[in-house]
Structure 1
Amino acid sequence: MLNGLRVLVVEDDPAIATDISDLIERAEGEVVGPVGSLREAKQTVRTDQSIDAAVLDVNLGDGDITPVLESLRARNVGVVVYTGSSGLPSGVGERHPDVVVLQKPVQPGRIVGEIQRARRTVGTA
C-alpha cells in the first residue's frame, strides 16, 4: 500500500511511536525514526532529504512541531498530524489547509489511508 514510501514518524510516546511504525512497515512503507523530540525531528529533516511523508505529533516535550511541519511542507512532503490535542498550533492550519489532523486514537487503516492521500495531494501540487 505504501510501496516503499519513506515515512518520518515523530511521536514522543514510545508505545504510540512503535504502533505507528509497525503499521507503516506492515503497509510496506519504510519508517524514518521514530523520533521523540523536536530537536531530533529538526535534525532528521535537515539531514534526510529523501522523506516522502510524515506522521507528526503536535506537542512534544521540547516544543510544538510547527518548524518541522513547515520545513517538510516547503519540500512538498505529505504530512499527517496525529495528535491528542485540539489540532494545529495557531496559524498553521490557515497556512496549510490541506494537512489532515487526526485526533488520537483512530483506526490503524485510516492512518495509512491518510498518508497515501497526503502524498498524492502534494504530488499534484
Structure 2
Amino acid sequence: MLSGIQVLIVEDEALVAASLSDVMENAGGEVVGVARSVSEARELIRRLTFDAAVLDLHLPGGDVTPILEALHAGRAPTIVYSGDELPEKVRARHPELVALRKPVLTGRLMAEILRARRTDL
C-alpha cells in the first residue's frame, strides 16, 4: 500500500513509535527516522529526505507548532496522530491538515497518508 514511501515518525511514546514503524514497513513503506522530542524532530527534518510525516502533538521539549511549520514549509504531507483534538489555532492555520485521534485502524492511517501525498503532488 505504501510501496516505497519514506515516512518520518514524530512520536515520544516508544511503543506507539514502534507500532507505527511496524505498520509502515508492513505496508511497504520505509521509516527513515523516529523523533521522540522537539529537538530530535528539528534535527531529522533538517537532515533527512522523506515523503510524509506522522506527527504526535505532545512531545518533550516544547511546542510542536514549529515542527509542523517546518514540515509544511518542506511540503511534507503530514498526518497528525494524537490522543487529543487538533488545537483551533493549528486548524485555522492549516485547514487541510488531517488529524487522527489515537487509536486509529491501520487501514485508515495508510489511506490518509496516501491521500495526503496525492493532494500534495
* TM-score, normalization by structure 1: 0.91
Alpha-carbon distance, 1:73 to partner = 1.0
Give the match for residue 63 of structure 1: 62
Cα shift at 1:67: 1.0
| 1:13-58 CA-partner distances (Å, limit 9, x unpaired) | 000000101000011111022111110000000111x211000000
The answer to whether the aligner puts 1:29 opposite 2:29 as a matched pair is yes
| Alignment match of 1:117 (pick from 90, 103, 115) | 115
Q: Distance in 1 between matches of 2:50 and 2:5?
A: 8
Q: Deviations over 1:70-122 (max 9, x none)?
A: 1111121110000012214x522112111100011111111111111111111
Q: Where does residue 12 of structure 1 map in the other structure? A: 12
Unaligned runs of 5+ in 2: none
> Residue 38 of structure 2 corresponds to which residue in structure 1?
38
Q: Distance in 2 between matches of 1:39 and 1:86?
A: 23
Q: Which residue of 2 aligns with 1:52?
A: 51
Cα RMSD between the aligned structures? 1.1
Identity of aligned residues (%): 48
Per the normalisation by structure 2, the TM-score is 0.94
| Structure 1 segments (4+ residues) deviating >6 Å | none
